[in-house]
Structure 1
């Protein structure tokens, strides 16, 4: 195997596939990157059994030549060393050559490295997915869906199903839902022009967070295909495969209160900054607890009290407050996460009492919903 390649696209592909490689793998060859030279270009693969990523570098794209002098073949190189070597090479082009004994020579400018390769035949084959039951999403929309929900997954393995995001298809709507049982994040998008051939799957949060780093923030479509226990995301040159979580995701719709006693309309940024300041002292507190009290004349009092450190109190002017007076305490971290996920200047917060879950939505969009359970402070 032999080829000459532009260093920049090679580095980008290496950085993509390395996200799937774990140093703790039980299959030794999966600690490496598979490199395959074909007549169409160079394909790199990384996998840890749970996530597999393929990145393809075409010979030529948009009139730019990326790969030259290809002699087809394949090899596996240690992910511990190969990315660092490529990153630090002196020239803009890289020549990679593999002999019959799997000795790999990497040349760039005046630098030359010799590495021991592994037989690519021993690398597990990735399943080939048929696209009959697939659908497309613009990559920027998929990134929004992940950003607005995946932060709310559980980090505890006691309930593995909650470490994933529940993706559901209901009545021509696509839902992303995540909860750690103390908060919930939900995003819905209408899906009128495509048929969704599934009802409910749970995608590991880790997989979605890695996918989010790879897909571009563009209008380019991502093709999504769901099978029995795996899901595939495919862009023009990247193929991302993840296992799905086994089990039934809890029915979260019953957690959402149907009526409210107090409704607050407030600037997202004003509230976020006030809670951020209050959280400076709340960090000493186990739950980062901040207290919110409604006051006359559309005033919200945001405070935090740490006996050893001190107290902070600030008033925020709401646009409008309807209903009963309210005193409620909650995790500042959960509230900050929720407000950051909402792309809106104004939020509507619906409370049903001091010890009941409350809902945060953008005022002009009911497709985004954040739910937080309060904290008992007495």
Structure 2
């Protein structure tokens, strides 16, 4: 194998596939990046067997030559060393050549590295996915849906299913739900589905976070293919495979209250900053708990009390307060995460009592919802 390639294209592709390479794998060859040169260009693959990423660098793109393949072939190189080498090469052009016993030479300018490679035939094959049922979604919408839900997945392995985001597709509507059993994030959107298949799958939160980092903020459509145990995201020159989590996601619809007893309309930024300030003293104490109290004249008090450190209270003026007076305690971090995920300056917070979950939504927008369980403080 021998090819000459633009350094910036190679660096970008290596960075993308590195997101799937793990140093802690039971299959030694997966600590490497698979490189295949063929007539159309060069394909790089990284995998940890949960996530696999394939990045393709076409020979020519937009009338510019990226790669000249002199001899087709393949090799697997140690990801850690190869990625560091490529980043630090001196010139814009890189030549990669594989000799006997997979020994690989990397040249750029006056620098020459020699790396011991492995046989690419030993590298596990990517899942073969029948692309019958494809649905498409603009890349920036996908990234927004991930950002607005993935933070609420569980980080504990006691219930593995909760470490993923539940994706449900029916009647052309995609609903994404994440919960760690203390809070829940929901985002829905209408999408372009060629057939009216229905899906109900759970995608690992880690996979979605990594996918989101690789994708550019464009409104180009990304194709999504779901099978029994895999999901494939197809963007331009990029394939991203992830395994799905086994098991049934809990039915969360019962958690979301249909009615409420106290409703607040607030400026999102003011509310977020007041909670942030109150949490300064709450961080050291138990569980970062902040208390909210409503008063009749539209004032809300955000307070926190840590006997060892001190206390803080701040009043903010709500745009509207309806219903019963209320005192409720909650995790400052959870509410701040929720507020950062919501878009818009004005939010509604709906309470059904001091011990019941409460809902935060953007005013006049039903596509997003954040639900948080209060904390008992006595």
TM-score by structure 1 length?
0.98
| Structure 1 partner of 2:127 | 127
Once the two structures are superposed, residues 262-304 of structure 1 have per-residue CA deviations (whole angstroms, 9 ceiling, x without a partner) of: 0000011110111111111111123110101112321110111
- State the alpha-carbon separation in 2 of the partners of residues 352 and 69 from structure 1: 65
Return the offset for 1:169.
1.7
Contact 1:133 1:196 in 2 (8 A): no
Once the two structures are superposed, residues 146-188 of structure 1 have per-residue CA deviations (whole angstroms, 9 ceiling, x without a partner) of: 0000100000100000000000023332100000000000001
- State the alpha-carbon separation in 2 of the partners of residues 123 and 19 from structure 1: 17
Query: Unaligned 5+ residue runs, structure 1?
Result: none
| Structure 2 partner of 1:11 | 11
| Structure 2 partner of 1:298 | 298
Alignment of 1:299-378 (within 5 A): 299-378=299-378
- State the alpha-carbon separation in 2 of the partners of residues 191 and 7 from structure 1: 37
- State the alpha-carbon separation in 1 of the partners of residues 194 and 115 from structure 2: 48
| Structure 2 partner of 1:183 | 183
Alignment of 1:273-288 (within 5 A): 273-288=273-288
| Structure 1 partner of 2:50 | 50
Once the two structures are superposed, residues 175-209 of structure 1 have per-residue CA deviations (whole angstroms, 9 ceiling, x without a partner) of: 00000000000001123664342320000001000
- State the alpha-carbon separation in 2 of the partners of residues 78 and 44 from structure 1: 13
SS at match of 1:366: coil
- State the alpha-carbon separation in 1 of the partners of residues 131 and 68 from structure 2: 32
Once the two structures are superposed, residues 8-37 of structure 1 have per-residue CA deviations (whole angstroms, 9 ceiling, x without a partner) of: 111111011011111111111011000000
Equivalent pairs, count: 378
- State the alpha-carbon separation in 2 of the partners of residues 195 and 180 from structure 1: 32
| Structure 1 partner of 2:244 | 244
- State the alpha-carbon separation in 1 of the partners of residues 261 and 216 from structure 2: 42
| Structure 2 partner of 1:73 | 73
Contact 1:279 1:290 in 2 (8 A): yes
Return the offset for 1:307.
1.0
Return the offset for 1:320.
0.3
- State the alpha-carbon separation in 2 of the partners of residues 214 and 144 from structure 1: 14
- State the alpha-carbon separation in 1 of the partners of residues 325 and 171 from structure 2: 38
Query: Unaligned 5+ residue runs, structure 2?
Result: none
TM-score by structure 2 length?
0.98
